[in-house]
Amino acid sequence: MNWEEKISKKVRDTPPSGIRKFFDIVNEMDDAISLGVGEPDFVTPWNIREASIHSIEKGMTYYTSNWGMIELREAISKYLKERFHISYDPKDEILVTVGASEGIDLALRTIIEPGDEVLIPDPSYVSYMPCVKMAGGEAVPVICTAEDEFKLTPEHLKEKITKKTKALILPYPNNPTGGIMDRADLLAIADVIRDTDIIVISDEIYAELTYNGRHTSFASIPDMKERTIVLNGFSKAFAMTGWRLGYAAGNTSFIRAMVKIHQYTMLCAPIMSQVAGLEALRSGFEEDFKTVRDMVKEYNYRRRVILKGFRDMGLECFEPLGAFYVFPSIEKTGMTSDEFCERLLMEEKVAVVPGNAFGESGEGFIRCSYACSIENINRALNRIGNFITKHI
């Protein structure tokens, strides 16, 4: 069978993730240090793991409601209210998803008609663009620059709004840049879209990981809740990536429509993960999220070390205030992002991710994750320092 012809054009036209070659090389190397990991290096706290193990022992191995366990949705509702000052009815305004990733896909598929345009800040997480395209829409990148601290500015946003604009994805705190949007920034965006019908898909998966005050949810901006779908999850806040547990919160008509797709494609999130998520929130309320705060404190130490490291090398690097990435400019080396990353890996055995993997605006930058020990960060910084000295 000629599979090339059998596979749908939409899928054929979707480029594979651009970092496969790096991945294969790093895997073969003995002494490589990776700053390319986009997930916490913390293991899920033991009480959460233990709760899930207990549920399996008790025989909780069945489906849950398509929406997710009501106890979990109630806890999520309380969490969103306490931590981000946004209130959603657990009965019909919150859907538990298989990671925030499923939430992105569901939200886009729920609203996109062929030809609809979806605005995506560039650079951003890699899955938005393919998800928009696979849902039949047009992905429209909106440029974000280092000068603007990789924030989405009202000016750049306005330029890209057309009659076909259906939605805006707002991914802050941002992967790969570590950029955040504070309340004033969000108010300015709200002013731009206030008189439009644009839906905002606010991906707030890194909301707990901010280093200069608490994250502001776009849904908490006056008049914006109605048009906003908030996506979040347990992966980054509670070091629970492998559990694949996320949620979407928004207007009930929107959520009900998402549930339709979810029930036919996913049915429900795994019950053992939902039990774990419930324990994460339950213990979080009990200790005022000390475990989360301790992780943030630790990330913040590393953030300062890695930022200083790059600046001491003479690379320009804006101060990231969210997530666990720094995004230094490598323009001074005269190399492209791809070239830099490949040569750094071959010459100094350090893996970082080329900025252009996250969109054209990421060209000239590299993404370095500090979700690893300070010792490894220092070792990596030494090696990158050698590399820079050789090539500047």
Q: Please report whether residue 63 would count as binding other proteins according to CB under 8 A.
A: no
Q: Please report whether residue 192 would count as binding other proteins according to CB under 8 A.
A: no
Sheet holding 138-143, edge to edge: 94-97, 246-249, 228-233, 199-203, 165-170, 117-122, 138-143
What is the closest distance, in whole angstroms, from the C-beta atom of residue 207 to other proteins in the complex? 19
- Nearer CB in complex with other proteins: 26/53: 26
What is the closest distance, in whole angstroms, from the C-beta atom of residue 30 to other proteins in the complex? 12
Distances (CA, A) of 250 to 89, 102, 362: 9, 15, 31
Between CA 175 and CA 185, with CA 180 as vertex, the angle to 5 degrees is 140
Q: Within positions 64 to 123, which residues make up the interface with other proteins, using CB under 8 A?
A: none
Q: Please report whether residue 27 would count as binding other proteins according to CB under 8 A.
A: yes
Q: Tell how strand 366-369 and strand 353-354 pair up.
A: antiparallel
| One-letter identity of residue 21 | K
CB 267 within 8 A of CB 66: yes
Per DSSP, helices labelled H in 271-356 are 271-286, 290-312, 337-348
What is the closest distance, in whole angstroms, from the C-beta atom of residue 307 to other proteins in the complex? 9
Sheet holding 325-326, edge to edge: 325-326, 366-369, 353-354
What is the closest distance, in whole angstroms, from the C-beta atom of residue 39 to other proteins in the complex? 6
Among 32, 70, 192, 257, binds other proteins (CB under 8 A): 32
User: In whole angstroms, what is the distance from residue 364 CA to residue 334 CA?
Assistant: 9
What is the closest distance, in whole angstroms, from the C-beta atom of residue 309 to other proteins in the complex? 9
Beta bridge partners of 246: 97, 233
Which window, 63-71, 93-101, 276-284, 294-302, contacts other proteins (CB under 8 A)?
Answer: 294-302
- At 21, is the secondary structure helix, strand, or coil? helix
Among 19, 53, 188, 296, binds other proteins (CB under 8 A): 19
CB 333 within 8 A of CB 388: yes
Among 157, 276, 351, 366, binds other proteins (CB under 8 A): 351
Q: Please report whether residue 206 would count as binding other proteins according to CB under 8 A.
A: no
| One-letter identity of residue 26 | V
Q: Tell how strand 246-249 and strand 94-97 pair up.
A: antiparallel
Which window, 18-26, 86-94, 115-123, 245-253, contacts other proteins (CB under 8 A)?
Answer: 18-26
Which window, 31-39, 191-199, 214-222, 268-276, contacts other proteins (CB under 8 A)?
Answer: 31-39
Please give the structure tokens belonging to residue 258.
């998402």
Mark residues 300-339: x for contact with other proteins by CB under 8 A, - for none: -xx-xx--x-------------------------------
- At 313, is the secondary structure helix, strand, or coil? coil
- Nearer CB in complex with other proteins: 70/305: 305
Q: Please report whether residue 126 would count as binding other proteins according to CB under 8 A.
A: yes
Among 240, 317, 353, 380, binds other proteins (CB under 8 A): 353
What is the closest distance, in whole angstroms, from the C-beta atom of residue 145 to other proteins in the complex? 21
Q: Please report whether residue 17 would count as binding other proteins according to CB under 8 A.
A: yes
Q: Please report whether residue 37 would count as binding other proteins according to CB under 8 A.
A: yes
Q: Which of 296, 291, 144 is nearest to 212 (CA)?
A: 296
Between CA 149 and CA 142, with CA 369 as vertex, the angle to 5 degrees is 35
Please give the structure tokens belonging to residue 253.
């008509």
Taking the chain, what is the end-to-end CA distance rounded to the nearest angstrom? 52
What is the closest distance, in whole angstroms, from the C-beta atom of residue 230 to other proteins in the complex? 22
Q: Which spans of this chain sit near other proteins (rule: CB under 8 A)?
A: 17, 19, 22-23, 26-27, 32, 34, 36-39, 41, 43, 125-126, 175-176, 297, 301-302, 304-305, 308, 351, 353, 357-358, 374
